[in-house]
């Protein structure tokens, strides 16, 4: 009852909550589905009284009104930890700046290096114990709360209750509470699985053993691997991942996931955020087999490698002939972010019997329909290296799979050319010779 009284004292309108913000402030919008909508609109509407306000956000799932109504950044400057499709377009327009980081370092970066004058989070309504649940975006929310001077909660009945640790904030720590619009949550389509995705999965599947602990990324290829696992004879899998995705629900429903042989959180599914369908959100709601934990617990390599047989499966955009992986930019065009890719690559490789898979189609096709190799002699200017060549293990295309561990540059070049599109192999070999990537023995 006392918490209800405290809540009544802190409930206010969005305009009143926005009055907490002043010129020169840093305002943190949180991550993905915990980003506000009502507060965001009210803040944008009050832009005339504000200047030099920095806003931090991550993975926007809706248009940010502070950008839409202030495109020339006269009042707000927006920084982003990881780009969605919307964020990518804003980066291209010069209306947003990317914050480079390894996802698992997020809580530590906040505690050691950052502050927020105002933190705004969309959460579930308060429970009987005075807690607001972060729902499906745990990530670095608790660290955000610890460093914020003022905390504004925007409640939403659409946010599922996700059980776990460090995944709530108490009414006693909250400055103001506003009622959100309770709109249905954004749903991210899984994407169709192509024949190329299935072929890549067919190369990966034979290497995955019973009792493996899997991390599955987003996209067609990881989904294809998950679908193949669902139909396979592999059993007693565990899940320790940063992102919970729709294909995992089918894997769990098929009885493939028991978690009995996990060294950390045995018999539990561990994740730090989720993005997908309403069916998946409903699956996570009050599900005590699924444990929502901060991103430093899921993503720091030592925590990943504490489990045996970790399997990390990720997409990438491009790889050069020495093994450098680009997953976040194409030239100077920013696309997504580092995320947890590098940390899961390192954690998987350090795990006992662990394996890391980097998946990509051999080619992409430009607007004219011309096929362009994703395996290249060298990354184009401006392209960011997400995973260094020294960390890469398996690389998979629809034409095969190669393990780069222990291979010289000569051996890497020949291995990667062997899984490039057949029509690109001769030119790749020629360029490798002309640029001295291959030694003289291979110059003919």
Say if residues 271 and 244 touch (Cβ distance below 8 Å): yes
> What is residue 10's three-state secondary structure?
helix
- Plot region of 286 (φ>0 → left; ψ -120 to 50 → alpha; else → beta): left
Give the span between the Cα atoms of 307 and 266, in whole angstroms: 10
> Can you point out the beta strands (E) in 146-279?
148-155, 168-170, 176-179, 213-216, 238-239, 243-244, 269-271, 273-274
> Can you point out the beta strands (E) in 322-428?
325-326, 329-330, 333-334, 355-359, 363-365, 371-373, 375-376, 394-397, 400-403
One digit per residue, the tens of pLDDT, for the chain of length 444 reads 689 999 999 999 999 999 999 999 999 999 999 999 999 999 999 999 999 999 999 999 999 999 999 999 999 999 999 999 999 999 999 999 999 999 999 999 999 999 999 999 999 999 999 999 998 999 999 999 999 999 999 999 999 999 999 999 999 999 999 999 999 999 998 778 899 999 999 999 999 999 999 998 777 888 889 999 999 999 999 999 999 999 999 999 999 999 999 999 999 999 999 999 999 999 999 999 999 999 999 999 999 999 999 999 999 999 999 999 999 999 999 999 999 999 999 999 999 999 999 999 999 999 899 999 999 999 999 999 999 999 999 999 999 999 999 999 999 999 999 999 999 999 999 999 999 999 999 887
Query: Which residues are registered as beta bridge partners of 142?
Result: none
Query: Which residues are registered as beta bridge partners of 401?
Result: 396
Kindly calculate the radius of gyration of the chain based on its CA atoms and give it in whole angstroms. Answer: 23
Nearest to 123, CA basis, from 167, 189, 68: 167
Q: What domains are defined for the chain? A: 2-179 (3.40.1080.10), 195-442 (3.40.1080.20)
Length of the chain in terms of residues written: 444
- Compute the Cα dihedral for 203, 375, 362, 223 and give only its sign: positive
Kindly report the pTM of this predicted structure. Answer: 0.95
- Classify each residue of 178-196 as buried b or exposed e, where b means 16 or more C-beta atoms within 10 Å of its C-beta: bbbeeeebeebebeebeeb
242 is catalytic: yes
The residue from 105, 154, 242, 328 that is catalytic is 242
**Helix 220-230 and helix 246-253, axial crossing angle in degrees, nearest 10:** 0
- Plot region of 439 (φ>0 → left; ψ -120 to 50 → alpha; else → beta): beta
Give the span between the Cα atoms of 175 and 353, in whole angstroms: 48
> What is residue 224's three-state secondary structure?
helix
- Residue whose pair of structure tokens reads 């067919």 in the numeric block: 202
Give the span between the Cα atoms of 169 and 174, in whole angstroms: 8
Give the span between the Cα atoms of 187 and 271, in whole angstroms: 18
> What is residue 399's three-state secondary structure?
coil
Nearest to 419, CA basis, from 435, 436, 431, 404: 404
Cα 273 to chain center, whole Å? 8
């Amino acid at each position: 009852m006392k918490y209800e009284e405290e809540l009544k004292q802190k409930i206010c309108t969005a305009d009143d909550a926005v009055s907490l913000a002043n010129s020169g402030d840093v305002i943190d919008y949180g991550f993905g589905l915990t980003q506000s909508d009502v507060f965001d609109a009210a803040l944008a509407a009050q832009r005339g009284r504000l200047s030099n306000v920095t806003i931090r956000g991550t993975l926007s799932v809706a248009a940010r009104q502070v950008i839409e109504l202030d495109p020339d950044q006269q009042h707000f400057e927006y920084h982003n930890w990881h780009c969605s499709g919307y964020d990518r377009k804003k980066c291209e327009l010069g209306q947003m700046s990317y914050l480079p980081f390894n996802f698992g370092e997020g809580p530590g970066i906040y505690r050691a290096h950052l502050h927020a004058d105002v933190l705004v989070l969309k959460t579930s309504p308060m429970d009987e114990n005075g807690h607001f649940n972060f729902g499906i975006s745990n990530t670095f929310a608790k660290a955000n709360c610890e460093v914020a001077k003022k905390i504004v909660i925007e409640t939403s009945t659409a946010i599922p209750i996700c059980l776990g640790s460090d995944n709530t904030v108490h009414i006693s720590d909250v400055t103001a509470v506003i009622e959100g619009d309770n709109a249905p949550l954004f749903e991210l389509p899984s994407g169709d699985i192509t024949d190329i995705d299935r072929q890549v999965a067919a190369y990966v599947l034979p290497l995955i053993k019973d009792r493996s602990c899997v991390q599955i990324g987003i996209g067609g290829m990881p989904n294809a691997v998950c679908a193949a696992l669902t139909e396979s004879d592999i059993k007693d899998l565990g899940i320790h991942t940063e992102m919970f995705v729709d294909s995992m629900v089918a894997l769990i429903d098929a009885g493939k996931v028991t978690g009995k042989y996990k060294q950390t959180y045995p018999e539990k599914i561990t994740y730090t955020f989720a993005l997908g369908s309403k069916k998946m959100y409903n699956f996570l709601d009050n599900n005590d087999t699924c444990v929502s934990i901060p991103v430093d617990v899921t993503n720091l390599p030592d925590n990943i490698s504490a489990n045996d047989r970790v399997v990390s499966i990720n997409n990438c955009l491009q790889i050069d002939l020495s093994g450098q992986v680009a997953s976040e930019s194409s030239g100077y065009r920013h696309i997504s972010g580092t995320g947890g890719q590098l940390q899961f690559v390192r954690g998987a490789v350090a795990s006992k019997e662990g394996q890391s898979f980097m998946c990509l189609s051999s080619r992409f096709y430009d607007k004219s329909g011309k096929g362009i190799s994703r395996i290249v002699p060298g990354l184009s200017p401006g392209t960011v290296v997400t995973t260094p060549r020294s960390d890469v293990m398996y690389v998979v295309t629809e034409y095969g799979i190669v393990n780069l561990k222990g291979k010289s540059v000569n051996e890497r070049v020949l291995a990667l050319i062997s899984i490039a599109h057949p029509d690109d192999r001769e030119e790749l070999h020629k360029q490798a010779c002309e640029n001295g990537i291959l030694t003289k023995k291979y110059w003919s």
